[in-house]
Amino acid sequence: MKRTALSLLLVFSLTTLYCYPSTGEASANFVLKGRIIDVDEKPVEGGEIFVYDNTQTRRPADFISPKTGRDGLYRIEIPAGRYWVVARVRSGARYGPLMSGGRHSGEAREIEAAAGQELALDFTVADVREMARNLRKSNDDYRSVGGRILDKNGRPVRGAYAFVRREKDGARLPDFISAWSDEDGRYTLHLPSGRYHLGASTAYPPEDGTVYMELNLDSVKIDSTYDIRIKFTDSTMEEGNQNSKEND
């Protein structure tokens, strides 16, 4: 009887040690923390940090922080390693491109940390209208490029935006963007001279498969007008227009 009791006690002790490691054991994780702020440097409530284990950020994140409170502070503990990180404020689904009303911190920031480290990073998020305002230039070297954003049937699209890339590379965010188009589908971009690829989208970042128009401002010395045909499903268009109306 005593022998059986001692055997049971030994098994319990070994199981306990296996399931509950010593509190002195070093963690294999690191802590990423900081603030999410807006373009006026005010704390943002409801922001999240999206962490990816590679540069492909057009997918569900590998880790997502809890939403920020009124102080804009976030904290997330993840395994040591190398990651790409963005901050977002979403008004709808947790995954996929942002629609109007959502905010984004821009290009993913690469980070790397060892186990036990704490890394402090602040992120600034903005919506498309705020980004366009910050990118707008007023000197003589910049010209206005405008026009209408149209659907495949030639109807104006409200709640979309135009953008340009210097290189036709969908992996990068646009170099310049317009504010949201109005009820007539009109947009305006302010660009320096150069060669660009002009496109439009209802979601941010732009969707893959965007149809581009070649734009050469080196040979154009006056303000120009270009209509853009946007390619998306009817449901995407309706969602984008609805969200735009709600957030105006």
Which has the minimum average pLDDT: 73-82, 118-127, 204-213? 204-213
- Over the stretch 11-49, which tens digit does the pLDDT of each residue have? 444 444 333 444 445 579 999 999 999 878 899 999 999
Tokens 């940090």 appear where? 49
Is residue 52 helix, strand or coil?
A: strand
Lookup: tokens for 3: 């022998």
Q: What is the mean pLDDT of residues 152-165?
A: 88
Pairing of strands 48-52, 63-64: antiparallel
What's the DSSP call for residue 80? S
User: What span, in angstroms and rounded, lies between the C-alpha atoms of 45 and 38?
Assistant: 10
Q: What is the mean pLDDT of residues 146-173?
A: 83
Pairing of strands 224-225, 142-150: parallel
Whether the predicted pLDDT of 108 surpasses 90: no
Is residue 149 helix, strand or coil?
A: strand
Is this structure's pTM higher than 0.75?
Answer: no
Lookup: tokens for 221: 């010395």
Give the Cβ contact number of residue 153 at 10 Å: 7
- Over the stretch 209-226, which tens digit does the pLDDT of each residue have? 677 888 888 765 556 788
Closest by CA to 50, choosing from 150, 121, 113, is: 121
User: What span, in angstroms and rounded, lies between the C-alpha atoms of 236 and 14?
Assistant: 57
Cβ–Cβ < 8 Å for 55, 171: yes
Residue 94: pLDDT band with limits 50, 70, 90: low
**What is the rounded end-to-end Cα distance, in angstroms, of the chain?**
78
User: What span, in angstroms and rounded, lies between the C-alpha atoms of 228 and 201?
Assistant: 10
User: What span, in angstroms and rounded, lies between the C-alpha atoms of 126 and 121?
Assistant: 17
User: What span, in angstroms and rounded, lies between the C-alpha atoms of 119 and 211?
Assistant: 39
Cβ–Cβ < 8 Å for 217, 201: no
Please, what is the Cα angle at 205 between 83 and 219, to 5 degrees? 120
Whether the predicted pLDDT of 114 surpasses 80: yes
